[in-house]
Structure 1
């Protein structure tokens, strides 16, 4: 049923690229963030987690990029492409929905 599918998508462990053992989940990837080889940040797509980690001083925000067709930020845009470092790793390019609810991201 629906609950089993939801669990499978978000919480069932799977092996990340280059690994043979299940050590990650969709929830961890999107809402918590992960590192690969302790150098590269992968996942970490939740704006609330970004805010909380930055508030604690764990994020070094490097900047954002905007759409080439619209060089200025726009209050109607809710997706941000950004760069930051976290846990001694770098997120060279990532995207985050800004201002959306966790329920929206689960959907």
Structure 2
């Protein structure tokens, strides 16, 4: 399985360019292949979420979003945040979208060293 270093590199590039990317695009970028591509990415993202929560940093995994009408992470992202005590709310809908937007703004506001 790919370690988190490649994923952290991709996430930092997204942050510096003030962009988000879909799960599929990020999985492809770090060399994950089907079957189980998105599940493997989710496991790596959860590890990063745990580190960010422990260090009280903005959630870098927020830059990975689902493909579709709601450009926010999948419900599992928010469920993990709830388990980590970082977020207490719905895992979809307006509340999740607002939290996500605020977190993205926090990430984009960090300096070049993150």
- So what's the TM-score if we normalise by structure 1? 0.27
Ranked by relative contact order (alpha carbons within 8 Å, sequence separation 6 or more), the top structure is 2
Decide which structure has the larger Cα Rg and report it.
1
Structure with greater strand share of residues? 1
Normalising to structure 2: TM-score of the pair? Answer: 0.26
